[in-house]
Structure formats: structure tokens, C-alpha cells
Amino acid sequence: MLMQSFIIPIIKVTDSCNFNCEFCYYSQKKLHSELMTLELCKKIIKETFEYNAKMGNKRMRIIFHGGEPLLQPITFYKELYNFENELKHNYQMDILHSIQTNGYNINNQWIELFQIMNMDVGISIDGPDFLNFHYNELGQKKCTDKVLENIQLLNQNNISYGIISVITNSHLNYAKEMYDFCIKNDIHNLSLNYCYNDDSDDSVDTKELVFFLKELFDLYFNGDYELNIREFNESIAKILGYCSDTCATCSRENCGQYMSFDSYGNVFFCDNAYDKNNAIGNLYNSSLYDIIDSSRYLTEIIKSRRNYEENCKNCSLSFVCGSGCYRYDNNLGVNYFCPTMKAINNYIINKINNND
């Protein structure tokens, strides 16, 4: 029996979205469109509370995801907040909240909710308009300007936020434009999701991606603007001997701790394994504890750690990249972005050594 020391629930409060984006991994899957019921969301939160308390934890993070989570009414989250306060009292546990949104629906009412719940906000936007292929539901109109207006609303109200950008082949000659985009819009936290679709040809070119990352790193490392780029921050921290904050750089030790839940009660090993055919259990049929204690969960753990054990354990750079994300492994257990990670991390190591 392998029980995780903690669980962070990624609660997909809906699979519906008011955008129709190119390269979206989820849009290429046949997903449900229902809003999650309040009762199911309470059940997810309560069971993760109980599990984390049983493991001796005093703090828990809840991530609201989608689809587009702001399609749920504000009252949905207010009800959850009141429910959580009861659980906090009963279990003596603090709660951290995060939400991942395309940002289009943000207004003053949502700002008030973010403040009440002390919510960290992630905005999905892929850069300046010519790189941001985020369209309305009909796929007819880009939504960049509206989202940027709402980012300024976050800035004006001191809401903690960052942006997540999917890096496609369209980005590869525009590292400077991505950097300048952050400066122009007063964005200080950027995360990069490299486009990878295992059932299409949309995956970003790994060799060209290296040149993009090197140019972006030089701007980040040498520039005066305070810009945190998650991937570079993590690499530098690991090179200097510090612990990692992200699951993708933890030598697969965190795999299975960020579990995903959908509006039908299905439970998934992680958000990146989210496909309706990959559910490892259902909360209407089993408790979360029993799902984690199941053979299906153990199978996913073994698969997720195969690459590290077979290909990465003896690599001189594995202490930096930590094998990368499980979703990018091919059928042989080799990570699609391994050549990219080796090249950029060697580059960063040389930059740090030459900067002493």
C-alpha cells in the first residue's frame, strides 16, 4: 500500500468553456459539459480534508479548474467558502485557494470574491494578440484585449496572479515579444506550458524550442524588469540546491498528489492525465482513501516513475529537471522534452557559473 502524504484536489467545476482555442488539449477530447453540482464539490473538498487530516497535514490547497471555472456563479464559490470554514474549524486546517481561468469574465464582483477567499489567480493567455489564439465560443473573434483589461483590474486591486502561456511553434521566433508583452502589461509571473498533443501534430518542435528558451532566459536573467518565469526559477533553485515547488521537477515523487475531479464524480491520477477514459475511480462508488489505495492508482504510480527509474536516475541533469511531467512520456517511457530540458538546463548552469 502506497499512501500519499497529501492530496491537492484539482476540481474541474465544469468542462464547458466560453473560448474555442487552437492547440487546446482539452478541446480535442470529448468531455462533459455540465456544471459540477455544489453537493459534489462539497463532497470532494470534505474527502480531501479528511484524507489530509488523516495524514497529519495542517494546510491544504484547493485548485478550481475547468473548462472555464468562472462559468459557475459567484454564489457557488461563496457557498463553498462557508462550507470550508466549518471544515477548517473541525479539522484545524488552513486552506489556500487557486483558480485557473481565461480571465474573460473577471469583473468587480469576481475581484471581491478573490479577495474574500484570498485566491491566487492563474490567467491563460499566450502572449501578444498575434500569438494568442484564444477565440470566442464560435471561433470568430479573438479575446486578447478584454483579458488584458481584466489583468489590469487584478493589478489595480492587488490580486495575486500569474499568466500561463502555451508555447507553440508560432512563438519560437518571438521570445523578445513575449518578454516585452509582460513588461507592457505589468505582468510579473509567467509560466510556460509547452504545446504537446500526443494524438496530433501540434507539438512544439523541441530543437527550435531550445533557441526560444535561451533567448528568453537571457532577457529574464540580464534584464532589469522583475519577471518570475516558473521554469527558470525552478531550474535555478534546483541548481543551487533548493527544493522544487512544482510537481514536474520532483523526480516523479509528487505524481498522484495533484488529483483531478470532474462533474460526474470521476477521479483522475492528475490533471494532465485527464481524459474521461482514464478515470481511476468515482467518488459516488468509492471513498477517496480507497481510490488511492487501489490497484489502478498503484499502476499509475508505477507508470509515472518508469521514466525516472529507467532513463533519468543516472543522468547528470536529473537533479534539475526531475524527469519532467509524466504526460510528456512516450510509449517507451521517454519524455518528449528531454532533449530540450538537457540543453536549456546546461545553458542555465553555464550562465550561473560564469556569473560568479
Q: Which of 2-6, 7-11, 25-29, 198-202 has the highest mean pLDDT?
A: 7-11
**pLDDT of 331-343, one tens digit each?**
877 899 999 999 9
Domain ranges of the chain: 8-355
Fold of domain 8-355: TIM Barrel (3.20.20)
pLDDT per residue as tens digits for the range 235-253: 999 999 998 778 878 778 8
* pLDDT value of position 356: 65
User: What average pLDDT does range 85-103 have in this prediction?
Assistant: 95
Of 25-34, 316-325, 338-347, the one with minimum mean pLDDT is: 25-34
User: Do 159 and 111 touch, CB atoms closer than 8 A?
Assistant: yes
Closest-CA residue to 63 (of 91, 18, 97): 97
- For 44-64, what is each residue's pLDDT tens digit? 999 999 999 999 999 999 999
Q: Is the peptide bond before 67 cis (omega within 30 degrees of 0)?
A: yes
pLDDT per residue over 251-303, tens digit each?
Answer: 788 889 999 999 999 999 988 766 667 899 999 999 999 999 999 999 999 88
pLDDT digits (tens, 9 = 90+) for 104-114: 999 999 999 99
DSSP letter at 259?
Answer: E
Are the beta carbons of 7 and 256 closer than 8 angstroms? no
pTM of the model: 0.93
* Residue among 119, 118, 122, 49 nearest 83 (CA): 49
Q: What are phi and psi of 335, to 5 degrees?
A: -75, 130
Rounded distance between C-alpha atoms, residue 290 and residue 343, angstroms:
42
Task: Please compute the mean of the pLDDT values over residues 120-149 and round it to a whole number.
Answer: 83
